[in-house]
Chain A
């Protein structure tokens, strides 16, 4: 069954038609790559599907049921997590605080009601999540702002992976990463999807897309123009679809 589906999403910013009736599907346990030239509407589509923004028209179906994702928090409550391109980390807070931001574990009883948090439990949970990812987050008490790009990305991805239970969106998850960290993220994508999670990632790196995706959806000018199975397509075909040389779906 299709886990998350979008039909005819449209969004206009001023005079710019960012999305012009875009469709989208992802199944449970599937990795879908979203590719397209700059301004093709990939990030906008992800923002609609993660509750960050509301489409002007079109509908979103979660497990076949029509759903309104009113806010990122609402999307997260439904099990949809997103790693944004800007990572959405609070630079002054430490990795544990970022990991649990908005979902803190409170101390039991009266102390918890007074607003005191169970930092020990949160630290243990974070440590586990980072180890699972193989993220090299050595110092759990330093501020995230002082970390390297790869470590920040590790925190953001681990946070999403730890909380997700339906669909995870990754907007350019490997853009700022070195070789080893990129490998970790690609492995993570595979691991998360093997747990029955739908993984959607935006990338400009064709080798990564070909390697890790099950299906590849090509966007151009705010529409989906083609969908390929990763096993029976090639780089030229994908580039052709991105630039408009090849058109699979009627627009």
Chain B
């Protein structure tokens, strides 16, 4: 009703305008390149300031390893944000999945692979369950994603604390902890290899399959998707379920890597992941974004943190710089978007009722 009732403004189209828009399109596509450039500049600066310490194999390995769990979460988060949604619950779901996996493995009381595999599956299923709950509430009950996932953030963390009494559990079978902590060929951490596999699979699904296409379509113009036969609600549920699944897997990895459920240590995980996804060029308005950008976007805070520590700068500065980069990234996205829409007012879709951009002004 809303969209059809409005009259189309006639957009006169001279050749100059066409050219400008072509240029805009090209810049948009080059956005992935920009963020790589930012990361490269940061790396070069640190490499010059601390030549003997920064670009060492050990330091590179540590940085990559520290980013691995965030990257797993970032894959699911990218899908969610591409739909125009948000998932604040990932950190708590990670903890919850770790707690349940730990409890199950402890109850089985064995140190072998059998118990470990059960633990991995249970952890992933816990994440999937929370993701499905998020998805159903967003898609069917039409509660804004911000509120739904803020609610499940509290619930998942609360349940974790109820189950554990607030005391971290440490019942990871040795084989699981050792293998996640080990390094393949002495250089590539297993944790990173797992994250890399998740990233590659995520990128293929998002960029090469119909599932990925529908994810973009829902974020771009959900109403158009609905009218052309895309099952918008079902797609949203699947996307939130996927984000939950990656959070569940991250929970198991986190548990195995730290040999702890880290109940108190994940309060900012969601925001760090969202920051990485957004810095990586995924639009909070939905419809645009890449997994590759997310990975780069997650590395920027990690590298800054690492570099500041090496340089002896108070590492609190990292938060300041990341905050500024985040705002700049969103400003650029907003600028690009409003330019593409002829300056129509912008509205964050995850605050709207449908949470999938269905109320957005359809650009013409």
Kindly state whether residue B226 has any CB partner on chain A within 8 Å. Answer: yes
Q: A92-B216, A148-B17, A148-B21 are in contact. Are A85 and B209 (CB under 8 A)?
A: no
Residues of B within 8 A of A15 (CB): none
Q: Residue A88 contacts which of B5, B9, B223, B288 (CB distance < 8 angstroms)?
A: B223
In the complex the two chains form, is A84's CB within 8 Å of B4's CB?
yes
Residues of A within 8 A of B288 (CB): 92
In the complex the two chains form, is B1's CB within 8 Å of A13's CB?
yes
How far, in whole Å, are A152 and B224 apart by their CA atoms in the complex?
13
Q: A43-B4, A86-B4 are in contact. Are A115 and B211 (CB under 8 A)?
A: yes
Kindly state whether residue B28 has any CB partner on chain A within 8 Å. Answer: yes
Which chain A residues (186-216) contact chain B, with CB distance < 8 Å? none
How far, in whole Å, are A178 and B17 apart by their CA atoms in the complex?
14
In the complex the two chains form, is B8's CB within 8 Å of A86's CB?
yes
Q: A102-B229, A115-B211, A147-B21 are in contact. Are A90 and B220 (CB under 8 A)?
A: yes
Residues of B within 8 A of A148 (CB): 11, 13, 17-18, 21
Interface mask (A93-124 → B, CB under 8 Å = 1, otherwise 0): 10001100111101000000011110000000
For the complex formed, measure the closest distance between the CB of A140 and the CB atoms of chain B, giving whole angstroms. Answer: 12
Q: Residue B227 contacts which of A52, A116, A117, A145 (CB distance < 8 angstroms)?
A: A52
In the complex the two chains form, is B209's CB within 8 Å of A92's CB?
no
Interface mask (A33-77 → B, CB under 8 Å = 1, otherwise 0): 000000000010001000011000000000000000000110010
Kindly state whether residue B363 has any CB partner on chain A within 8 Å. Answer: yes
Q: A104-B213, A145-B363 are in contact. Are A88 and B221 (CB under 8 A)?
A: yes
Residues of A within 8 A of B209 (CB): 114-117
In the complex the two chains form, is A115's CB within 8 Å of B205's CB?
yes
> In chain B, what residue has the closest Cβ to A74?
B229
Kindly state whether residue B362 has any CB partner on chain A within 8 Å. Answer: yes
Interface mask (B109-131 → A, CB under 8 Å = 1, otherwise 0): 00000000000000000000000
For the complex formed, measure the closest distance between the CB of B128 and the CB atoms of chain A, giving whole angstroms. Answer: 19
In the complex the two chains form, is B7's CB within 8 Å of A72's CB?
no
Q: A148-B21, A176-B364 are in contact. Are A93 and B223 (CB under 8 A)?
A: no
Q: Residue A90 contacts which of B17, B205, B221 (CB distance < 8 angstroms)?
A: B221
Kindly state whether residue A87 has any CB partner on chain B within 8 Å. Answer: yes
Kindly state whether residue A91 has any CB partner on chain B within 8 Å. Answer: yes
> In chain A, what residue has the closest Cβ to B287?
A92
Q: A103-B229, A146-B24, A150-B13 are in contact. Are A117 and B210 (CB under 8 A)?
A: yes
> In chain A, what residue has the closest Cβ to B226?
A72
- By secondary structure, the B interface counts as helix
Which chain A residues (146-162) contact chain B, with CB distance < 8 Å? 146-150, 152
Q: A73-B229, A148-B21 are in contact. Are A91 and B340 (CB under 8 A)?
A: yes
Q: Residue A85 contacts which of B8, B22, B340 (CB distance < 8 angstroms)?
A: B8
In the complex the two chains form, is A90's CB within 8 Å of B287's CB?
yes
Kindly state whether residue B228 has any CB partner on chain A within 8 Å. Answer: yes
For the complex formed, measure the closest distance between the CB of A14 and the CB atoms of chain B, giving whole angstroms. Answer: 11
In the complex the two chains form, is B213's CB within 8 Å of A171's CB?
no
> In chain A, what residue has the closest Cβ to B221?
A90
Residues of A within 8 A of B8 (CB): 85-86, 149, 172, 175-176
Kindly state whether residue A134 has any CB partner on chain B within 8 Å. Answer: no
Kindly state whether residue A89 has any CB partner on chain B within 8 Å. Answer: yes
For the complex formed, measure the closest distance between the CB of A78 and the CB atoms of chain B, giving whole angstroms. Answer: 13
Residues of B within 8 A of A114 (CB): 209
In the complex the two chains form, is B210's CB within 8 Å of A115's CB?
yes
Residues of B within 8 A of A84 (CB): 3-4, 227
Which chain B residues (11-68) contact chain A, with CB distance < 8 Å? 11-13, 17-18, 21-22, 24-25, 28
In the complex the two chains form, is A89's CB within 8 Å of B362's CB?
yes
For the complex formed, measure the closest distance between the CB of A64 and the CB atoms of chain B, giving whole angstroms. Answer: 26
> In chain B, what residue has the closest Cβ to A152?
B364
In the complex the two chains form, is B217's CB within 8 Å of A101's CB?
yes
Interface mask (B214-241 → A, CB under 8 Å = 1, otherwise 0): 0011011101111111100000000000
Q: Residue B25 contacts which of A89, A106, A146, A176 (CB distance < 8 angstroms)?
A: A146
Kindly state whether residue A142 has any CB partner on chain B within 8 Å. Answer: yes
For the complex formed, measure the closest distance between the CB of B283 and the CB atoms of chain A, giving whole angstroms. Answer: 8
How far, in whole Å, are A117 and B208 apart by their CA atoms in the complex?
8
Binding site for A on B (CB under 8 A): 1, 3-13, 17-18, 21-22, 24-25, 28, 205, 208-211, 213, 216-217, 219-221, 223-230, 287-288, 340-341, 362-364
Q: Can you add 20 more A-B contacts, CB < 8 Å, to A88-B223, A92-B220, A116-B209?
A: A72-B226, A76-B229, A88-B224, A90-B224, A91-B220, A91-B362, A97-B213, A101-B224, A102-B229, A103-B229, A104-B213, A117-B209, A117-B210, A139-B22, A145-B340, A146-B25, A149-B8, A176-B10, A176-B11, A178-B12
Offer 29 A-B interface pairs, CB within 8 angstroms, sorted by A.
Answer: A43-B5, A47-B4, A52-B4, A52-B227, A72-B226, A76-B229, A84-B3, A85-B6, A86-B3, A87-B362, A88-B223, A90-B220, A90-B225, A91-B220, A91-B287, A91-B363, A92-B287, A92-B288, A93-B213, A97-B217, A101-B224, A101-B229, A104-B210, A106-B210, A145-B340, A147-B21, A149-B10, A152-B364, A176-B9
